[in-house]
Amino acid sequence: MITLIAGTRPNFMKIAPIRRVLDARKLPVRLVHTGQHFDEQMSDVFFRDLGIPAPDVVLKTGGGTHAEQTAAVLVGVEKDLLAHRPRAILVVGDVTSTLSAALAATKLQIPVIHVEAGLRSRDWTMPEEVNRILTDQLSDLLLTPSRDALPNLKAEGIPDERVIFVGNVMIDSLHRSRKSETDALARLSLERQGFALVTLHRPANVDSLDALTATLSAVEAIAKRLPVLFPIHPRTTARIDSLGLRPRLDSIANLKPVAPLGYSDFVTLMANAKVIATDSGGIQEESTALGVPCLTMREGTERPITVSEGTNVIVGLDVGKISHEVDEILAGRGKGGRIPEGWDGRAAERIVDAVERFLAGTPKPKADGPRA
| Selected catalytic residue, list 114, 201, 233, 324 | 201
What is the crossing angle of helices 319-330 and 209-223, to 10°? 20
- Catalytic residue list contains 324: no
Ramachandran quadrant class, 109 (left: phi over 0; alpha: psi -120 to 50; beta: rest): left
Contact in structure between 2 and 162 (CB atoms under 8 Å)? no
Q: Where are the alpha helices (DSSP H) in 246-341?
A: 246-250, 263-272, 281-290, 305-308, 319-330
Contact in structure between 204 and 126 (CB atoms under 8 Å)? yes
At residue 258, φ and ψ (nearest 5 deg) are -140, 165
3-state secondary structure of 181: coil
Contact in structure between 17 and 172 (CB atoms under 8 Å)? yes
162 vs 349: CA distance, rounded Å: 18
- Taking residue 277's Cβ as centre, other Cβ atoms within 10 Å add up to 28
- Taking residue 240's Cβ as centre, other Cβ atoms within 10 Å add up to 21
Contact in structure between 135 and 343 (CB atoms under 8 Å)? no
Q: Find the angle CA(105)-CA(108)-CA(113) to the nearest 5 degrees.
A: 30
What is the crossing angle of helices 347-359 and 9-24, to 10°? 70
The residues carrying an active-site annotation are 201
